[in-house]
Each structure stands twice: as structure tokens, then as C-alpha cells.
Amino acid sequence: MAKKKQTKNSAYTPGYYDPEKVHLPGAGVLVEQPITQTLETNYMPYAMSVIVSRAIPEIDGFKPSHRKILYTMYKIGLLNGGLKKSADVVGRVMELNPHGDAAIYETMVRMSRGNETLLHPFVESKGNFGKAYSRDMAYAASRYTEVKLAPICAHLFKDIDKDAVDFVPNYSGSTTEPVLLPARFPTVLVNANLGVAVGMATNIRPFNLEEVCKATIGLLRNENYDPLRVMKAPDFPGGGYLLYDEAAMRQILKTGRGSFKVRSKYVYDRESGCIEVTEIPATTSIEAIIDKIAELVKLGKITELKDMRDESDITGLKIALELKRGIDPDKLMRKLFKMTPLEDSFGCNFNLLIGGSPMVLGVKEILQEWIAWRTECVRRRIYFDLGKMKDKLHLLEGLSRILLDIDKAIRIVRETEEEELVVPNLMIGFGIDQVQAEYVAEIKLRHLNREYILNRTSELSDLREKIRDTEDLLASPQRLAGVLIEELEEVIRTSAQPRRTILLYDTEMQEEEEEEEEVNEDAMNFFFTKEGYFKKITPQSWRMGNNHKLKEEDKVVWHFEGTNAHDLLFFTDKGNVYKAKAKDFDETKASVLGDYIPAKLGFEAGEKAVFAAATRDYQGFVLFFFANGKVARTPLSAFETKTNRKKLGNASSTKSELIDGFLSVEEREFSIVSNAGRLLIVHSTAISEKSTKGSQGVSVMSLKKGQSVVSAAPFAEGEIEASHRHRTKTLPAAGKVPTYSASQITLDAE
């Protein structure tokens, strides 16, 4: 096809390009720009938009998408009116939210009572809205379902038309919407809020409404009040049992970060021989639980089940587990709690926008911020009412002047030739301003009698008293706090509900805890490599093939012959120790890499395991060798815990690099080598024991400037010649340059 010819009057014709006549400013010019400037100009606006306008909730407890939906429903009369088709509501919401009907409807579904996501749903629903606890129970299309606002929303919109909050134009400028909703209770803590922004996230767990309101009332009455006195722990719409650790929960509520566990609720029907699970953690679903149990049955780890069914229906959730004859249901459930999502962890990250800036706050700080914000809302509402009262007083004062001479007012109106002069003549005749004169001029003729005017002006004294009282209210922080307390008490009376999630304390858990499961105590070989890989190999498998598969430049640094009953301890370069049960690791072969310990045990970013140890009775001691020449000796019993804690902090000192460490049950000698080539042999008895973890130890090897310890190892006689030269009676000592035996030299050469 021939190219279209360019005309004389056109600089550019579609389909035709002439580089001599088309000029784009700056085209083809390469401009060097620092990456920081590129990120700031191109990426930061996007990141801030996601943080501020989408993913992170504000102090009223809502993200913009939630707020737009609720406000639209309020404006079209769905607070007190009847149900309306969801499709109609979604269409109207698009006037404020231009992100598409699918996203709007999905957000509305999650706020509905039928979906059961929120502890206190904001949307009453009719039709199929799916279920939060099932991934297969999908919600129906918006044309089939109906919605309206739940009664609790009356507390969200009360006084919104009295200038309690700011309004801004919508995206098209055709209408306005509230920046925040003037919620009369801390919704930010009552309903769950999850969001992933750019570089940050939020995960606010729901709390019982009555507990939140009582904690807020306590803070209003006493700023030193501890909200944790009534807010013990989160409360989930799906119920279940929360495994309550007071110290851990107090830390979560104080800092806004941490995790806890929730366990499913079940009953055992003796007649049918079935366990019926009726409440599950909010992080999982029926299908995920059934899939995991089925997987364990296939692997032979669960053999007690005869059948498994999903019996959920319109009455609610139910998973039926049919047991074989003679099986203890409680023992089986404790086993399933450990191996399936029937017991799951909940992470907390109380991140919200305060004044447009994301902040991670504890419960008390969140409530204090809410009180400050809500007090300002109430103050603005009172100012609005005060202004209305003053306007009314002003009109009534003008009307009272008419009382002095009604005939004069009538005469002025009758004798004024032009209508536009009526108001100015009334102003002159009675000494009133234009607003008052306009009011008088609009009075109907039938009301120009003394009785009507006396009835209206009789309000003056009460109105003046009410204005004085309102002004005193605005000037009194104590009285303003009293207003908030009254509102919160009203919320409790009208909307509170019993706690759904039951707290299971340590004592109860200990009573439930089964006897230690019998562990197969067959012999095992444990291997740990320099790069952090761990292998558990049976002696038979080890004899059949003992050539380790390792990553490049990796090597085995620890070999121990033990059993599945041993505890494993991995000491890291950040002063932590991670504990694990040997039985929790799968048996493997030398020909595989093994388990990567930092990933399996959840190490911190950049954390590396320096050495490993195994024990059954926590007898003996651990020696920590540091680069600065110090050695710390700590009894292994210091790392024993009554609970199954996986991570212990402050296990070793972090003031100097940890070079190596060893667990020893008996006293023995160890060799230490410095980067100066010197070797020192020291007996463990020469190192004093410190009963506390994290000790810096004692100076053992004296080092000059620039020198450091590079290795340490248990010493065996015959490794070097004249080993007595490397021993000393006093510490610290510098050591000597070693002379190796002929056999050792030959071995090294090979």
C-alpha cells in the first residue's frame, strides 16, 4: 500500500512520517539523572497515593473505598429506608469511586452481614453474599442481591450535616464527599482492617465493641487509665478459642505488633462418633482445612479418621470428622491443631494514617488519637448548633422590637410605595438590621398579632441561657469529655454484643495438653553445614551413601549421632538461639541439600547460624568463642524453657563477632587460632561459668591491634608437636606459632 502523501498545510499526517518536518523537543537526548531523583519524581507519588488513598485506614476506621460506599448509601436514604438492589447502589457509588463496579461490589460484600467478615457489619444484606470462611461459596452477582445500611451506621453519620467533618469535591467536581466519617465510637479497633500498600502494610484485628467503648471511657475519665484492663484480646466474628499469653498480648496491644494463635471450636457427638468443627480461625477456610487433613491422611500421619465431610449449610459452618472405633477425640484434635490450620497464627500490625502520615501505634495511643479527633468533631458540631441558636436569637430580638408598636410596622409596610424599600424602612423605623427586617417583612399577615409575637419572643430568655451554657460547654474540656462518654454509653446500650472468641488461658491449655507423644527413638545422624543446611539421616541410609551433596564452597561443620527425642539448638551471629525438635525434621539422604535452617525456623533478615547443638536433658555447658579473644561459658540449662518457644534472644553477646561455639558435657581442652598464626590451648575449667545468657565472657587470648581470633575447635592430643608450648597457667595469653606433626602435614598435603 502506498503511503499517504503529506499536504502542505499539515505538519503531520497519520500514516506518514517525515523526520525533517516533525520535531519533538528533547527527543533522542539522553539525560543523566540520579536514581534517587527518578524514584522521587516517578515512584514516590504513586507510593504515597496507594498509602494515603487506598490501603491504609484513617482514624475513623475506614479506607476511602469503604467510606465512599457507606456515604453514598446514607445519601440515598438506605439508613432508615428499605432494601435496594446492589447493582443500583454500586452504580451510584461510581459517582464518588471511579475504579469500576466489580471492585466496589466486592468491597460492599465484605462489609455485609451475609459474608460474615466483620464483627459488626455495616451493611444489611439479602441474597447470597458468600461466606468469609469458604473460598468456594462465592457471592451472587449484584443484580440478584439487595442491601441497606445496618442500624449501627446511625452512629457513623450522626451530625454529619452539622459541619462535624470536612467535605471535599469528588473526582469530577460534580458533588462533595466527607474526608472522614464522624463515627461516635472507635471503629478503627472494632472491625478488622487489612491492607497492603507500597513498602508497608496494615493488619488491625477486631476487638469487642463494648470492651473498646469502656476502655475509651476509662481514658476520658483518667488519662493514665490502662485500656488493657478491659480490652484483654481481639474478638473475631468467627469465634474460636484465643490462646491467651498475657505477656505476649500486652506487648501486642502496647506496641501494635506481634502475633497470637486462635484455635477452632469443636464438639464430639458420641452417637455418631463424629467430631463437629463449628468455628475456625479467620485466616483459613473450610476447603484449606479439609485439603490439609486429606494430605496428612495420604501421607499416613493421620490414621484415626474413617471419613471427613463438609456439612456447612444455611445454619452455619460445620466440618464433620468421623472417627474410627476407640479413638480419643480430644487427643486427635490436639494432633490436628499442631498439623493443620485448625489452629492458626494471627499477625498484628496496627498501622493507620494520623494526619495523613502512616504510624504504627499501640491500643492506648490509637484511642488517645481517636479521642482527640472525636473531641474536635463534637466541638465543630456544637459550634454549628451555637451559630444556629445565635441566628435565631438575633431574629427573635428583632421580632421583639415589633412588639412595641405593631401598628407602626403595618403602617410602614402599607405606606411604602416600592417593595424594595420595605426592608430599609423597617430598619429605620425600628432600629434593626437587614436580616431582622427581612424576617419581619416575611411574617404572614395573620401572624401580626400580639399573641403570636409574645409566644415567639417568650423563647428569648431560655435561648440566651442555652447559648451561655453551650459557650461554657465549649470552654470546658471536662464537659466535652462528658459528651463523648454519653455517646459511647449510648453505643454500648444499642449495639454491644457478647464476646465471640473465648480466651483460653495457660492453665486451661496445660490441663488440656496431652502427654508427650511417643517419639521414635531410633538412632539418627545429624549434619549441619557452614551455609546453614541441616540433614537428618538414618544409619542405614548413611551407610548406603555417605557422599554429601553440598552447595559450592559449603562443608559439613557439625555431625552428631542422636535420636528423634533430641532438641536442636541453632546459635546465630545476632545473639539469638532457635530451638527445634529433631522429630519435626523429615528423614533425608546425603544426596540432597537438606533443610535450609534460616528459612525453616524463620530467622531475621541477614541472620546466619554459626553453630548447632543437640541435647535431651540440657546438661553440660556451651562455650562461645569471640573474635576479640574472649570466651563465654554458659550452662546449657539457661536455654531450657517450659514452653515450646522457638526463639530466645540474648543467647550470646553481640559486642564482638561470634567465631564458633561448642556444646560440651565433660571438661576438655580447646584450641584457639588467631590471624597472626598463633595457637593457644585452653582447658574449659579455666573459664569461669556465667549463669546468665548473653555474657561477654572472659579474656582468654591476648591480641595486638589488628589481630583477631579466626577459628576455635576441640583439641585432641597429637594434632601438633610440643603441644605443651601452647598451654599456659595464666590467662589471657598470646599463644605460640604451632609446629604440626609429620602425620598432620601428610594429611594436609593430601
Q: Nearest to residue 670, comparing CAs of 683, 687, 660? A: 683
In a shared domain, residues 490 and 561: no
144 is catalytic: yes
Task: Report the C-alpha gap between 203 and 320 in whole angstroms.
Answer: 31
Contacts of 644 (CB under 8 A, 6+ apart): none
Instruction: Assess whether pLDDT exceeds 90 at residue 638.
Output: no
In a shared domain, residues 626 and 740: yes
Alpha-carbon dihedral 505, 507, 509, 513, rounded to 10 degrees? 170
Task: Report the C-alpha gap between 337 and 263 in whole angstroms.
Answer: 7
Task: Report the C-alpha gap between 389 and 380 in whole angstroms.
Answer: 14
End-of-domain residue from the set 494, 514, 548: 494
Instruction: Assess whether pLDDT exceeds 80 at residue 743.
Output: no
Task: Report the C-alpha gap between 407 and 410 in whole angstroms.
Answer: 5
Q: 12, 43, 144, 740: which is the annotated catalytic residue?
A: 144
Task: Report the C-alpha gap between 726 and 728 in whole angstroms.
Answer: 7
Please tell me the predicted confidence (pLDDT) of residue 9. Answer: 46
Coil, helix or strand at residue 672: strand
The arithmetic mean of pLDDT across residues 205-219, rounded, is 95
Q: How many domains does the chain have?
A: 4
In a shared domain, residues 541 and 674: yes
CATH of the domain at 313: 3.30.1360.40
Cell numbers given for 614: 543437640
User: Which region among 82-86, 90-94, 403-407 has the lowest average model confidence (pLDDT)?
Assistant: 403-407
Please tell me the predicted confidence (pLDDT) of residue 21. Answer: 56
In a shared domain, residues 146 and 67: yes
Task: Report the C-alpha gap between 235 and 191 in whole angstroms.
Answer: 9
268-316 pLDDT per residue, tens: 988 888 999 999 999 899 999 999 999 999 888 888 899 999 999 888 8
End-of-domain residue from the set 114, 148, 182: 182
The arithmetic mean of pLDDT across residues 22-29, rounded, is 64
In a shared domain, residues 600 and 731: yes
Domain that holds residue 642: 523-749
Task: Report the C-alpha gap between 319 and 340 in whole angstroms.
Answer: 14
Give one word for 326, left, alpha or beta, with left for phi > 0 and alpha for psi -120 to 50: left
Please tell me the predicted confidence (pLDDT) of residue 7. Answer: 44
The arithmetic mean of pLDDT across residues 668-678, rounded, is 90
Instruction: Assess whether pLDDT exceeds 80 at residue 645.
Output: no
For residue 570, report the phi and psi dihedrals to the nearest 5 degrees: -120, 115
Please tell me the predicted confidence (pLDDT) of residue 490. Answer: 96
Domain assignment present for 706: yes
Contacts of 573 (CB under 8 A, 6+ apart): 607, 608, 610, 657, 658
Please tell me the predicted confidence (pLDDT) of residue 24. Answer: 62
Please report, for residues 138, 240, 288, 580, 638, the alpha-carbon distance to residue 135 in angstroms, rounded to integers and kept in the order given.
7, 19, 9, 33, 46
Contacts of 411 (CB under 8 A, 6+ apart): none
Domain assignment present for 94: yes
User: Cell 488493657 identifies what position?
Assistant: 228
* Cβ-based burial of 642 (10 A; exposed 0-12, middle 13-18, buried ≥19): exposed
CA atoms within 13 A on the CB side of 565: 11
Share of the chain above pLDDT 70, in %: 92
Confidence of residue 518 (pLDDT cuts 50, 70, 90): low
Please tell me the predicted confidence (pLDDT) of residue 26. Answer: 64
User: Cell 541441616 identifies what position?
Assistant: 534
User: Which region among 27-36, 406-415, 531-540 has the lowest average model confidence (pLDDT)?
Assistant: 27-36
Domain assignment present for 337: yes
In a shared domain, residues 395 and 448: yes
Task: Report the C-alpha gap between 434 and 444 in whole angstroms.
Answer: 18
Task: Report the C-alpha gap between 601 and 645 in whole angstroms.
Answer: 11
Of the ranges 451-460, 516-525, 526-535, 714-723, which is most confident? 526-535
Domain assignment present for 359: no
Confidence of residue 27 (pLDDT cuts 50, 70, 90): low
Please tell me the predicted confidence (pLDDT) of residue 116. Answer: 93
End-of-domain residue from the set 494, 512, 533: 494
For residue 460, the 8-state DSSP code is H
In a shared domain, residues 406 and 549: no
Alpha-carbon dihedral 319, 321, 322, 325, rounded to 10 degrees? -150
Domain assignment present for 503: no
Please tell me the predicted confidence (pLDDT) of residue 193. Answer: 87
In a shared domain, residues 740 and 682: yes
Please tell me the predicted confidence (pLDDT) of residue 13. Answer: 47
In a shared domain, residues 459 and 532: no
Average pLDDT value for the chain:
87
